Amino acid sequence: MEKLGDPAGEAEFVAQMFQRDSKNYHVWSYRHWLVRHFSLWDSPTELSDVDSLLRTDVRNNSAWNHRFFLVFGRQDGDPSFIPTPEIVDRELEYAKTAVFEAPQNPCPWIYLRG
């Protein structure tokens, strides 16, 4: 896959692994690598997949971490990247909704703190 320069099929593989254990550190680490290596920062499926996992389990800290990684942690060599105010507002609303759903859950609180 790396030599082909195409992550085709990897999203399905990762989804299958998450069906078994959506908090598996190694699978999340691999997903981070895929995003960095293939510059999938703006892939619409990345954010929607994380959103789906969080709808299933709002307490999935690994999914919260990956969301932060995608939205705010662009480590693709662009030090000038700054999220737009619209993105920041969207993420604030997203986390606040999760806080109202499960106020005792520390994950969205930590996400809000950045």
Extents of the domains making up the chain: 10-113
Is 0.75 surpassed by the pTM of this model?
Answer: yes
Rounded-to-integer distance, Cα 18 and Cα 24, Å: 7
Contact 47, 90 (CB under 8 A): no
pLDDT in tens, 52-70: 999 999 999 999 999 999 9
Rounded-to-integer distance, Cα 100 and Cα 38, Å: 35
Quote the DSSP letter at residue 9: T
pLDDT in tens, 80-105: 788 899 999 999 999 999 999 999 99
